[in-house]
Structure 1
Amino acid sequence: MKKVLKSLALLLIISLLFSNIAFAKSDNGKQSLVALGDSIPFGYNLGQHNHHPAKSAYPYLIGNDSDLRVRNLGVPGWQTHQMLTALKTDQKYRQAVRHADYIVLNIGNNDLLQALRAAQAASNGNSLLFMQLLQQEIQKSNLFANVGGIIEVTRSLTDAPIVVYNVYNPFQLDDPLYTFGSAILPTINSRFKDLTTLYNSQYGNVLLADAYSAFGQNQSTYVLPGDIHPTVEGQIKLAEIGMDVLDLN
């Protein structure tokens, strides 16, 4: 009788063990989304502080709607060269990308802002000179070469879909810089389109999310006042276009 009881107890323990393992696998078996980029996927200025990514940032909104685990690796202030270096050398980034089922990438905004500030400072109000200097500063930043490098390194680590967000106009309509943004960003964004088209033809599943068109002239709704970062509504819009591109709706 004791042997029977011991056998039953052993079977019960084994049953519970496998049940817990199965539950753990089920719980952790969700597909994952990794967000790479700057303060936009981070959700800057949406929480009480900026110590951690905001849960209202678009990577988490995509994750909530599509039942995905989210790893948000957005870093406020980062430029393309920092993102590229991290993917080449930082095991945290490399391992996250290796295990991702979906990648969203939003980078280059700070490269453009730095180029803008440098051109403004050097042009002394001369609009023609400003545009010439801006083009030079953008070229010096290696923005598009770096974005291409980011896509290449990412694709070397995973075959997951990569969604690249282009640049929305961050200035309110009554800001003089809005006109500048409307003049320069279509050219900038055509380069993003060319890059994604090129790498999609080479590697497959390199996709473009058109934030510029999605925001349109709705900056009062989608951009924080006195800021350049998305509102919660703006983050929702970024999530929507990302999900559309990934066919997660």
Structure 2
Amino acid sequence: MKKRAKKLIAMVAAMFMLFTVLFTSTLASADPMTLHYIALGDSVTYGMSAYIVPPPSPVYFGYADMLEDALDAFHDVNYVNVGTPGIDSTGLFMRVKYCPITRPLVMDRDLVTINIGGNNLLKPFIAGIFAEYGVIVDGEIDNTEIASLVASLQAMGPVEAQARYEGLSDPDGPLAAAFKKGIQTFRKDFPRIIGAVRQLAPESMIIVNNLYNPLKPEDPLYAFVDKSIGQINKTINSIAEDGRFAVADVYNAFKYYDGDFDPVMLDPVAAVAYALSGNMAGFAMSIDPHPNTVGHMIIAELQFQICMSHF
């Protein structure tokens, strides 16, 4: 375990050094300027699971912070991150359209990055998993609900637990219906989000992350979830075609990443095994759908490559 941890630290450090060299070589000739940057979105924008300080009192340094830090080496960056854990497309639209706090922050920004849509699917996905094991989630998941889930898994055993998980992919089941609703909501909200941002910052460079699939390809629900993610990404790409923003292709960057460590640690099948064995540390790690530090670095590099052609 110690060797693996050291290897991870060394790998992340090496990636960061390479990342910095890339920034230096490509922006060294850039003229000094004040770059006004705002990061909009959900918990991924917030930086969740890119730890500088681990739980129980975590400090995050996510893709938006990494991008700002790199740009700040060559520009005077005025940066604000208003990423909000749990927010979905409707919540973000309401903020950029009506919120008296958010709207002035977006106004006249040079750079706007957006990560949104994951919670349109993730919230019903997580709630569906908990409900399948007899635990009703009301809002954000708390430790009591997690403990109830673990107890339920331990009571039923691996065969029934696995069967119930696989059953979530029923095309006529409640999860499929919830995904359909989330996709429809996103299709309505997303053009309005871009329109509201454009109204406030008409000259801004907007970069939108498409959605990644947090599940591993061998997961029984991978194809089921992937289909819905594809529909949201199709909406993003279709609107991007008119040149109103650029797309950071996080989906393919994560899917084809061949490094030593996965950019996302979510693994529900492993989580069941950890719960049954009483390994709560492994269980907690396996139910996290956010990018880890490696994943956030991949996103930051994608966004920086887009910034190179504009600033």
TM-score, reference length from structure 2: 0.61
Map Cα deviations across residues 191-219 of structure 1 (whole Å, 9 max, x no partner). 21012224x2xxx4x11111101111549
My pick for the range that moved more, 35-44 or 81-90, is 81-90
Partner of 1:147: 190
Please list every run of 5 or more consecutive structure 1 residues that lacks an aligned counterpart in the other structure: 1-27
1:32-111 equivalences under 5 Å are: 32-47=36-51, 48=54, 54=60, 56-67=61-72, 68-111=77-120
My pick for the range that moved more, 212-221 or 238-247, is 212-221
Pick aligned residue for 2:216 from 152, 162, 172: 172
Partner of 2:207: 163
1:1-249 equivalences under 5 Å are: 30-47=34-51, 48=54, 54=60, 56-67=61-72, 68-116=77-125, 125=168, 127-130=170-173, 133-139=177-183, 142-158=185-201, 159-198=203-242, 200=243, 204=244, 206-218=245-257, 220-224=261-265, 225-226=285-286, 227-247=288-308
Q: Are the structure 2 counterparts of residues 239 and 137 from structure 1 closer, same or farther at C-alpha, using a change threshold of 3 Å?
A: same
Q: Are the structure 2 counterparts of residues 50 and 106 from structure 1 closer, same or farther at C-alpha, using a change threshold of 3 Å?
A: farther
Q: What is the CA RMSD across the aligned residues, in angstroms?
A: 2.9
What is the distance in 2 between the residues matched to 1:46 and 1:221? 13
The structural deviation recorded for 1:88 is: 1.8
Q: Are the structure 2 counterparts of residues 231 and 125 from structure 1 closer, same or farther at C-alpha, using a change threshold of 3 Å?
A: closer
What is the distance in 2 between the residues matched to 1:109 and 1:92? 23
Instruction: Report if the CA contact (8 A) 1:118-1:137 is conserved.
Output: no
Instruction: Report if the CA contact (8 A) 1:115-1:134 is conserved.
Output: yes
Instruction: Report if the CA contact (8 A) 1:41-1:74 is conserved.
Output: yes
What is the distance in 1 between the residues matched to 2:34 and 2:246? 22
Please list every run of 5 or more consecutive structure 2 residues that lacks an aligned counterpart in the other structure: 1-31, 133-163, 266-284
My pick for the range that moved more, 87-96 or 179-188, is 179-188
Between structure 1 and structure 2, the one with the greater Rg is 1
Corresponding residue pairs, total: 215
The structural deviation recorded for 1:35 is: 0.3
The structural deviation recorded for 1:144 is: 1.9
Q: Are the structure 2 counterparts of residues 186 and 139 from structure 1 closer, same or farther at C-alpha, using a change threshold of 3 Å?
A: closer
Instruction: Report if the CA contact (8 A) 1:119-1:137 is conserved.
Output: no
The structural deviation recorded for 1:139 is: 4.4
Q: Which amino acid aligns with 1:209?
A: A
What is the distance in 2 between the residues matched to 1:53 and 1:81? 27
Q: Are the structure 2 counterparts of residues 59 and 88 from structure 1 closer, same or farther at C-alpha, using a change threshold of 3 Å?
A: same
What is the distance in 1 between the residues matched to 2:209 and 2:218? 25
The structural deviation recorded for 1:119 is: 6.7
Instruction: Report if the CA contact (8 A) 1:119-1:134 is conserved.
Output: no
What is the distance in 2 between the residues matched to 1:92 and 1:119? 34
Q: Which amino acid aligns with 1:32?
A: H
Instruction: Report if the CA contact (8 A) 2:183-2:231 is conserved.
Output: no
Q: Which amino acid aligns with 1:143?
A: F
What is the distance in 1 between the residues matched to 2:256 and 2:80? 31
Map Cα deviations across residues 162-221 of structure 1 (whole Å, 9 max, x no partner). 1111100112344333333334323331221012224x2xxx4x1111110111154942
TM-score, reference length from structure 1: 0.75
Instruction: Report if the CA contact (8 A) 2:179-2:228 is conserved.
Output: no
